[in-house]
Structure 1
């Protein structure tokens, strides 16, 4: 089977994208305590701090796991938590 340079290049691009995505997803350590800077914004009407937004974006891949946790579910899945996520520019994932 003879492959053209275009086919080889396309395969290389796909591999680079897949490997980059795998490394990015492996870099997140899910820890709900990382969201503690967001506590006041979630439990009251205080605007989220830049640190809160940063941590929220960092923990975004973990949010569905937090929603499934009975201890965190009500807090993480609350309307205020979704509002904070929206303000931070990190829309809540569909779980």
Structure 2
């Protein structure tokens, strides 16, 4: 009994989609504002951000709107220095 070519192709497509979905889930960001602690010095003063700070801002970028909606975090995240640090790191400040 021969398996139709389209059925094999469809099964392969399903496997590829499942693998892509799995890969996307494994690279999801965990929103944790403490991950931005390397940026505290740059945000609270006019010192330039470190490479670690910039990498953490880029990593946490999908979470910034969530942080801005949190009244306890907004007062730190939504400051001119925080915007300057994000800009210096090449991460545009989000428009939420």
Unpaired runs of 5+ residues, structure 2, are 1-12
- Deviating runs (4+, > 3 A) in structure 1? none
For 1:90 and 1:38, locate their aligned partners in 2 and report how far apart those are by CA, in whole Å: 13
The two structures, once aligned, show a CA RMSD in angstroms of 2.2
Which whole-Å CA distance do the structure 2 matches of 1:58 and 1:25 have between them?
Answer: 14
Aligned residues: 80
Q: How far apart are 1:26 and its partner, in Å?
A: 5.8
Give the match for residue 92 of structure 1: 93
Unaligned runs of 5+ in 1: 1-11
Tell me the TM-score normalised to structure 2 length: 0.74
- 1:35-50 equivalences in 2 (<5 Å): 35-50=36-51
Quick check: which has more Rg, 1 or 2? 2
State TM-score, norm by structure 1. 0.75
